[in-house]
Amino acid sequence: MSTSLTLFALRNVDPLFSIAGYDLFTWSAVQFQALNPIWIMLLSPILALAYTRLTRQGRDIPVAAKYALGFVVVAVGFFVFAMSDRYAVNGRVSSWFMVAGYGLYSLGELLVSGLGLAMIARYVPARMSGFMMGAYFVATGVSQYLGSVVANFAKMPSGNLDPLQSLPLYTHLFYGLGWLAAGGGGGGHRRCCRCLGGCRVHIIGQWRLPSLQWLCAMRRAITYSRFLQVGCEPS
């Protein structure tokens, strides 16, 4: 996971993990990174089961709605990190905020990132699938650089900084990313609906996008599926 979140955990998170007043163990800053794969493993079967049941009931969620929901969930996750400062004690917040924030972040990742390659397979003509999959991973590389640029907004001054001084810098970044994700979820859903809605043409018993529409669909797939990388890479 991101260096920014790890440094936030190092500087501003209480490492003591307790439940109902009972101290269980002490986190190290790096151990918080394990929360993302743990949540992915826990949430993946639940999400797969929910998708299967909705499909059987004829209430399958449109791709655009999944993107929008993923953005909203990611936004809520960033807001959890950001609002943790309201409950800070001497500049340090409870480790439960990291657990909750990573959980929402991971759920948003499942809702958004997994759809990128699926949209390529579904909408892109077979002759262009290899090229567009390559473009998808090129976008991943570009997102690594953009992540470092965004993470620099939380760059700390030289020297050891007091937790009371570093906390506002991190929460300011998290608020910004939260509002950015919220804007992407709302506006992106409307734009994606305009792009994909009514664009499929019935040809020989199959649904395919016309030549101009699959390019529009791919632009949405690459843009939205890689958003989660922004602000989540080393600064």
Residuewise pLDDT in 10s, the chain (235 residues)? 467 788 888 888 988 888 877 778 888 888 888 899 999 999 999 988 998 898 898 888 887 788 888 889 989 999 999 999 899 888 899 999 999 999 998 998 888 877 777 778 778 888 888 888 888 888 878 877 887 777 776 666 666 778 888 888 888 888 888 888 787 665 554 444 444 443 333 322 333 333 334 344 444 544 444 444 444 433 3
Domain 3-229: state its class: mainly alpha
Q: What does the DSSP assignment read for 135-175?
A: HHHHHHHHHHHHHHHHHGGGPPPSSPPPHHHHHHHHHHHHH
Q: Where are the domains of the chain?
A: 3-229
